[in-house]
Amino acid sequence: MNKDKFFAQEMKSIKSFEFNHDVAEVFDDMVSRSVPFYDEIHRIILDLVDRNYNGGVIYDLGCSTGTTISILDKHFKKRNLKTPDYIGIDDSGPMLEKFNQKIKKGKIQTAQALCQDINDVKFRKSGMVIMNYTLQFIKPNKRLDLLKKVYKSLDKGGMFILSEKIKCSGHTVNDLLIELYYDFKRRNGYSELEISQKREALENVLIPITPEKQIALLKEAGFKKVEMIFRWYNFACYLGVK
């Protein structure tokens, strides 16, 4: 795994963050050091599969380098269960190159990756849709329509697992949680320069919303059964069941 040093050198001008070749090369390290309890989110997904997955296509929206699908496939094989069709969607070609390498290495024959805008996906009927830290990068005015399509695609009893960075409605608490998150990044070896430059690159690219607004969006999209099932400061995971 290549170490993330993407923002380690001072930049004269900071461009908006994008999932290009250089990011793809270090993404697995970047996400493991930047997203709190990333492994635990995967553990939650596996627990939900064991308890409430009734078959059908599994979508990973914003599949990046294919880690989630790889973990799922190992889980199914370990339990000698039939592996479902996995469909990974991402609009970054460099990320999908890494995805395909990982899928090939893991000999995952039922997985495919589609390079396209998530908003343009024509969904098949599905048993589970996963969206880890992806909706936050989609323009807010397009999120509801996408969530409606996700809901429509799911079989009855199907699950939607959504993980997102969030914000609080009150500035004082929100600012405190941001600083606590930066402490987490410092503990994982990121410098003040790296934290500052990435924060600037993500400005107006990653747009978090409050949990109240997120749950309201999910309900408006059709999910009557929806709960926040995990939270760490300003990161959260939601479960919607059709």
Instruction: Return the closest-CA partner of residue 211 out of 125, 135, 142.
Output: 135
How many CB atoms neighbour CB 151 within 10 A?
20
Q: Is 62 annotated to bind ligand? A: yes
Is 64 a known ligand-binding residue?
Answer: yes
Would you say 190 is a known binding-site residue? no
Distance CA 177, CA 167 (A): 9
DSSP strand E in the chain: where? Answer: 57-61, 86-90, 111-115, 126-132, 154-165, 225-232, 235-241
Ligand-binding site membership of 199 (annotated): yes
Report the C-alpha gap between 53 and 12 in whole angstroms: 49
CA-CA-CA-CA dihedral for 180, 185, 189, 193, to nearest 10: -100
Classify strands 154-165 and 225-232 as parallel, antiparallel or unpaired: unpaired
CA distance linking residue 53 with residue 175, whole number of Å: 38
Q: Is 63 annotated for ligand binding? A: yes
Crossing angle of helices 192-202/171-187, nearest 10°?
Answer: 130
Give binding residues for S-adenosyl-L-methionine as ranges: 38, 62-64, 117-118, 132, 199
Give binding residues as ranges: 38, 62-64, 117-118, 132, 199
